[in-house]
Structure 1
Amino acid sequence: MDGEGTPLTHTTRASPATVQWLLDNYETAEGVSLPRSTLYYHYLRHCQETNLDPMNPASFGKLIRSVFLGLRTRRLGTRGNSKYHYYGIRIKANSPLNQYTDDQTMAMRQQPMYQAKKPSSSKVDGESDTSQPGSNNPGSNEGSQSQQQHQQFLGDASLAIPNFDEIDMSSNPLPEGITIQDVRIFELLYREHAEAIVDVVVNLQFSLIEALWQGFWRNQPIGEHQNAENDFEKKLPKETLFALCKYDPVHVFVRKSDYAFYQAIIEVLIPDVLRPIPSSLTQAIRNFAKSLENWLKSAMQGVPDEMIKTKIGAVSAFAQTLRRYTSLNHLAQAARAVLQNTSQINQMLTDLNRVDFANVQEQASWVCQCDDAVVQQLEQDFKKTLKQQTSLEQWAIWLESVVNQVLVTHEGSPNFPKAARQFLLKWSFYSSMVIRDLTLRSAASFGSFHLIRLLYDEYMFYLVEHKVARATGETPIAVMGEVRQFSDLSSAVALGSLEADKKPSVTSTATKIVSSTPATSTNTTVMLVTPSGTDGPQVKRLKSE
């Protein structure tokens, strides 16, 4: 304890001078607060003056809570312009830090960059907005009501900002001209940048994210928000930022932070993929996802290529996941109408009982190689569940039980992701054989089965990606991002092979096959079923002569 009896726990990383500095300059008090960023900038100034290596914002926050017990974190300010504050602490009256509390020099938050661009209407981005700034158009109130109605479908935004790890510099020396303090400032700015993004997402003002990215990466349009950009320059000059963008530990930090952050944003926008949400909100999210990659590429012009690739990889996975989840949600709402219709359920049962499952299993066994007993059990459980006219949520529980039953033997194995992918392929192939049988029999309920099949395939994919994420210790969006990177790499390798085959000195395998093929050939049609991405599964026919 100090002389005043204040417990000093969890302060082993902090120097005694820093702890004493906190006690000399701050005090607890009821009904007051300080911006979290202001305290950290005070601390950075203290480290600079005393030649100390600063700790990252998360560690400093733990130190503050250890020295001043009972502090609470609150988000204070007007909507869209709020900041995180420590509630219950203030600067002492005799502290020299009082001269540094000017918001223009200390707060340095991203909100001023987009505050001027906010329209007077609070309509969700993607909806039409007929109200004009400063007018008394009643459409403004309608837009505000619409926004409030949409916000009730969002998840808990208080958990949207994960705990970003500290940049690990242990195995990589700092670039020339870069200090540890530069790295710590980058960590702080990156976290505050994420907080600003959460602000506009929660307020459903998606288009303002482009301005946030432009400001952070120093690509503001000439004449727009120059004061905010100058504030960035005071803390982390553009040359220093770009030098950090070439530093490998920063790439690792940004990649890991982005995947965790975007996963949290997804859970805010779509907390439950099966829960009905307004079509206007769904369309706004899809428009947002469609614009993300172009916004980021435009905002990062001139940034080192290594950082652009890192950022684009995470944002592309983020956008793709948003499109998939909104499509899944749309399918779920369409399927509810079918599952609640007694006559349709009865017709589906009649048609399903006519399917020759023994023949289907015989045809599928060579590809799937599934246990006959397991397949028969799934068939019986499906018919039983359909006959009970269960709700969509009960169907979801059954589908998850199927996934758990099949993959339980692979849990803890390094081959778990491969086993999960094989399960998805087998499930899709088997269900396609059932749909084929229904088609050949001209089943009256074919349309209902087709819709249900699309939904269950999509939901199976959703369940499996989450199980793989838990098994690998990654976020679901990171799993998908790695799959996309692997696909891009495979495409690049294949393209390189094709380029090599074009060289006259190389005789390709394809040429050998063609030369050994008889002159008489028949037309061949190959059907490719692409994975369900933005708008559900797609079938393409490739015809070769």
Structure 2
Amino acid sequence: MEQKYHYYGIAVRDSSIYYEVMYSAKSATSTTADPKKELPKQVVSYSPRSKLGTLLPDFPDISQIVLPEGVEETKVVTFLMMYRTHCQRLLDTVIRASFDEVQTFLLHFWQGVPSHLTPILACDVMVKVIGVCDSVLYKAVAGVLMPSVLQALPDSLTQVIRRFGRQLEDWLRSALHGLPQVLTEIKLDLARRFSQVVKRQISLNHLVQASRTVVNSQEMVTQLLADWLSIDLGSILKQTLYTMEEQDTGRENKAITHMCTEFEKLLEDQAPVEAYIEWLDNMVDSCVVKVGKRTSVVTMVKKTTF
């Protein structure tokens, strides 16, 4: 737990357990789920029931929140306890694949907030804390619902998850009717981001499965290798390096050639799709992440110097 955590502005440290890039509109991560039999109400090929009993990570502690004058700490503590119970119930409901019940729980909670607690929902700091709580919840839901992109998703589950992502925003809008606009805006924004993450993960999953079909076919891989070997990589590399400014062309030439050689080796070995993904991860890390860090350091040095 972060000892010094500032919610004003909802700026979350990278090192915090509450930091999750997918809810800052960057990316998403997810965990696996086990196939199960169909459920009645909604046709789902499996439900991640092995996740039953999954507890949400800790929500923000009152000691970490700087409340403005006029907002009673006891009311905030009471609301956060209620909200955590509500979010845990939503997570349990998703784990049971009872997606339709989510709408009911949302409506009952938000329309049933005690009148003496309603005023704090208009407090800017409190609304941002709720946003952090929602990020924690959506991360947990995504971790339960969305398997790794490497694992095949049954079509029935894909359809149900897509529908859940589409309906969530409408359910929230109805449940939040009559409550402060600032609260509605941040909750709807996070719901939209969650929906986008779901769509992106499903698309990636489909792409991976299509790629797996290709790399598992000896005939297709043989043809891919033949096509790859027919490419004039030397000419392409020369033109690429010519367009790069202020670069160590010798080092860049060596790096690109090495990556091309690695890709060729994957084709020759008829490697599984996981090996290609690892190759891509390493390429992004060396060509984007590390380069970006070096650029940031150089920029800081120049600013300091001049």
TM over 0.5: yes
**1:197-346 to 2 correspondence within 5 Å?**
197-218=90-111, 229=112, 232=113, 236-237=114-115, 240-346=116-222
For 1:413 and 1:209, the matched residues in 2 are separated by 46
Report if aligned partners of 1:124, 1:281 keep a CA contact under 8 Å in 2. no
Matched residue of 1:308: which SS?
helix
Whole-Å separation in 2 of the counterparts to 1:383 and 1:398: 11
- State the alpha-carbon separation in 2 of the partners of residues 288 and 364 from structure 1: 45
Contact 1:266–1:322 (CA under 8 A) maintained in structure 2? yes
The answer to whether 1:150 aligns with 2:43 is: no
**Greater Rg over alpha carbons, structure:** 1
- Alignment CA distance shift 1:333-1:164 (3 Å): same
How many residues align? The count is: 254
Deviation at 1:313?
A: 1.8
Note if contact 2:46-2:157 (Cα within 8 Å) is conserved in structure 1.
yes
Match runs of 1:499-538 below 5 Å: none
**Equivalents in 2 of 1:415, 1:214: separation in Å?**
47
**Is contact 2:67-2:73 (8 Å) kept?**
no
Change (3 A) 1:253 1:412: farther
| Paired residues for 1:74-473 under 5 Å | 122-123=39-40, 125=42, 127=43, 150-152=46-48, 156-167=51-62, 168-175=64-71, 179-218=72-111, 229=112, 232=113, 236-237=114-115, 240-365=116-241, 371-407=252-288, 409=290, 415=296
Contact 1:157 1:198 in 2 (8 A): no
Q: By how many angstroms is 1:286 displaced?
A: 1.1
**Counterpart-to-counterpart distance in 2, 1:382 and 1:169:** 50
- Does the aligned pair in 2 maintain the 1:293–1:316 contact within 8 Å? yes
User: 1:221-256: CA deviations, max 9, x gaps?
Assistant: xxxxxxxx4xx5xxx22xx34311111221221111
Distance 1:293 1:360, change over 3 A: farther
| Distance of 2:74 and 2:295 partners within structure 1 | 40
How far apart are 1:166 and its partner, in Å? 1.8
Deviation at residue 295 of structure 1 after TM alignment: 1.8
- 8 Å CA contact 2:142–2:198 kept in 1: the answer is yes
Q: Percent identity?
A: 26
Q: Distance in 2 between matches of 1:413 and 1:379?
A: 23
Question: Does the 8 A contact of 1:349 with 1:383 survive in 2?
Answer: yes
SS at structure 1 position matched to 2:149: coil
The structural deviation recorded for 1:396 is 2.1
Mapped to 1, the partners of 2:243 and 2:50 lie a distance apart of 42
In 1, the alpha carbon distance for the partners of 2:235 and 2:295 equals 35
Task: Give 1:271 shift.
Answer: 3.3
| Residue-by-residue CA offset, 1:284-307 (whole Å, 9 max, x unaligned) | 111111222222122212221111
The alpha carbon displacement at 1:399 in A equals 2.0
Q: CA RMSD in A?
A: 2.7
Q: Give the number of the structure with larger relative contact order, counting CA–CA contacts within 8 Å between residues 6 or more apart.
A: 2
In 2, the alpha carbon distance for the partners of 1:293 and 1:160 equals: 24
Q: Quote how far apart the aligned CAs of 1:367 are.
A: 5.9
| Cα distance change of structure 1 residues 366 and 340 upon mapping to structure 2, 3 Å threshold | same
Could you tell me how far apart the structure 2 residues matched to 1:311 and 1:289 are?
14
Which structure shows the bigger proportion of residues in helix conformation?
Answer: 2
Asked if structure 2 preserves the Cα contact closer than 8 Å seen for 1:155 and 1:267, the reply is no
Aligned partners of 2:198 and 2:293: how far apart in 1? Answer: 29
The question of whether the paired residues in 2 share the 8 Å contact of 1:165 and 1:253 is answered with: yes
1:411/1:375 CA distance change after superposition, 3 Å? closer
Task: Output the TM-score relative to the length of structure 1.
Answer: 0.43
Using the alignment, how far apart are the partners of 2:66 and 2:192 within structure 1? Answer: 30
Q: TM-score, normalised by structure 2?
A: 0.74
Contact 1:160–1:268 under 8 Å retained in 2 = no
Distance 1:391 1:194, change over 3 A: same
SS in 2 for 1:253: helix
Cα drift, residue 360 of structure 1: 2.8
Matched-pair contact (CA < 8 Å) for 2:52–2:96: no
For residues 232 and 108 of structure 2, what CA distance do their matches in structure 1 show?
62
Judge conservation of contact 2:51–2:95 (CA < 8 Å) in 1: no
1:390-436: CA deviations, max 9, x gaps?
Answer: 111222222222233335635877949xxxxxxxxxxxxxxxxxxxx
Task: Note closer, same or farther for the CA distance 1:172–1:321 as it changes in structure 2 (3 Å cut).
Answer: same
Residue 217 of structure 1 and its aligned partner are, at CA, apart by: 1.6
Paired residues of 1:244 and 1:250 also in contact (CA < 8 A): yes
Per the alignment, in what secondary structure is the counterpart of residue 122 of structure 2? Answer: coil
CA distance in 2 between partners of 1:298 and 1:366 (Å) = 57
The 8 Å contact of residues 91 and 137 in structure 2, kept in 1 or not, is answered as: no
> Whole-Å Cα distance in 1 between the matches of residues 295 and 236 of structure 2?
32
- Superimposed CA distance per residue, residues 153-194 of structure 1 (whole angstroms, 9 cap, x where no aligned partner): x7735445110012445352134xxx3222111101110110
Deviation at 1:196, TM superposition (A): 1.1
* Structure with the bigger percentage of strand: 1
The separation in 2 between residues aligned to 1:408 and 1:296, in whole angstroms, is 37
Q: Is the 8 A contact 1:259 1:314 kept in 2?
A: yes
- Structure 1: distance between partners of 2:200 and 2:55: 20
Residue 111 of structure 1 corresponds to none
Compared with structure 1, are the counterparts of its residues 171 and 415 closer, same or farther at alpha carbon in structure 2 (3 Å cutoff)? farther
Change (3 A) 1:406 1:207: same
